[in-house]
Structure 1
């Protein structure tokens, strides 16, 4: 499968996700929402699988390829959230965020080849990236909820709405922890040590501790909603640095083994 077909698959998936989000917003039957959203996920995932087969490696090496997975996991996180808590607007936000990442990939295409450095040929490569991308999607959904509660909700925040942020963060942090642990095992087999304070690892640790601090703050100060939500937004900013911000840090240039190939 050539990357030239990405726009076609992406547009079809976006139309389906948009239809699912519209159906949810208009309070249509859940089966309609699920049908559109899941069909869109199937279309998009079929492209990922086809790229995987074509490249003869997991499409996870470049920044554009990680955006591919993030674009897929956002609607997945959205439909999970909708299924559990019935927030009808969550699919609209996940659709918009996926649209942004897909547009970046369409208008800023990257070179995708079969080259994969020896360290990335580890069996830990695929599960490590997948659990991290799913964690990022869940934490992104928590951030969307935090933004809604801080700036768009007209009434006071209630405990039920904070539970949604908490539960999304719990799931996201759990998968992030799995990502850290699998990365450590991978590093041990590839480079002989579990942790090296590489710039990526440093930001990953800062991000993990930040979300852990949010959870402890919520448990210790359950009534201080706004401070907790601000902390959640700060954590997401740290996550952005951990994901792609390190590519632009001078300290990571030519040193970090974790910087994505931007070409």
Structure 2
């Protein structure tokens, strides 16, 4: 049976495969077949753990911060690989590997895994699609963040085309996540939106990415400004995901599900 005690074994294999894949990508002048194969195998390894852990827990592993970090690491592998396949940036797999590895290490050092039970609000059809769609959008927008940092560092405009596609995809899934969350909230608490601290930061994050899309479509800002909008929006996303949990005002939030 796959339990949290086995996680480090899967983590070591997944990260090792990601690192090897990133290495093949960095040192190849064209798209590397080995980079793709190794990256896929690394992501599959983490996916196998998530599936087995789901069976072991007898519930979706989506309740705690540690469990959502599992999904983010998995989707970061997916998003980094898709970005590499589409735009062939040799360095993107290295960065997605670093991000995925950081979250894997956080889970080893601070797993935040609780018991098998789910509170009544989480025993909903909308629980799994809401959280997984959000995690995927976070990973896609994470790749856009990496591109924006590289664009600023290298003073290049050509990363904006790739960033556009990533932002459009990420915002689409982010919007679906917000809509499914609103439907879920209506069923669980009787209202679609309550301006809870987490919801407020979600709205702020969504607005930031919409601002980028607006500025990009109407060509009203310089590439440098656009890159900064993406960076600030992604930092807001991090605040929405886990930073808000440390705010005093959020201690009574309906979105804190990780209490034992």
Which of 194, 197, 202 pairs up with 1:196? 194
Give me the whole-angstrom Cα distance separating, in 1, the residues matched to 2:20 and 2:3. Answer: 27
1:223, distance to aligned residue in structure 2 (A): 5.8
Q: Which of the residues 88, 104, 126 maps onto 1:86?
A: 88
Q: Note the alpha carbon deviations across 1:60-95, whole angstroms, 9 max, x for none.
A: 111001111001111110010011111110000000
8 Å CA contact 1:110–1:262 kept in 2: the answer is: no
Separation (CA, whole Å) in 2 of partners of 1:24 and 1:166: 23
Q: What are the residue-to-residue correspondences of 1:85-234 with 2, within 5 Å?
A: 85-151=87-153, 153=154, 156-158=155-157, 160-221=158-219, 224-234=222-232
Do residues 258 (structure 1) and 260 (structure 2) align?
A: no
TM-score normalised according to structure 1 size: 0.94
**Deviation, structure 1 residue 218:** 1.3
How much does 1:31 deviate?
2.1
CA contact (8 A) 1:200 1:259 kept: no
- Cα shift at 1:29: 5.5
**Could you tell me how far 1:30 is from its partner in structure 2?**
2.9
Task: Tell me: CA distance 1:262–1:230, structure 2 relative to 1, closer, same or farther (3 Å).
Answer: farther
Does the Cα contact within 8 Å between 1:207 and 1:242 map onto a contact in 2?
yes
Gaps of 5+ in 2: none
Alpha carbons of 1:248 and 1:162: their partners in 2 closer, same or farther (altered >3 Å)? same
Matched, 1:67 2:65: no
Task: Indicate the RMSD between aligned Cα atoms, in angstroms.
Answer: 1.4
Structure 2 distance, partners of 1:246, 1:262, is 15
Measure, in 2, the Cα distance between the counterparts of 1:193 and 1:222. Answer: 38
Match of 2:4 in 1: 3
Per the TM alignment, residue 220 of structure 1 is displaced from its structure 2 partner at its CA by 2.0
Report the alpha carbon displacement of residue 112 of structure 1 after superposing the two structures with TM: 2.8
Tell me how far apart the structure 2 counterparts of residues 213 and 111 of structure 1 sit (CA, whole Å).
37
Moved more, 189-198 or 105-114: 105-114
Measure, in 1, the Cα distance between the counterparts of 2:101 and 2:259.
20
More displaced stretch, 220-229 vs 66-75: 220-229
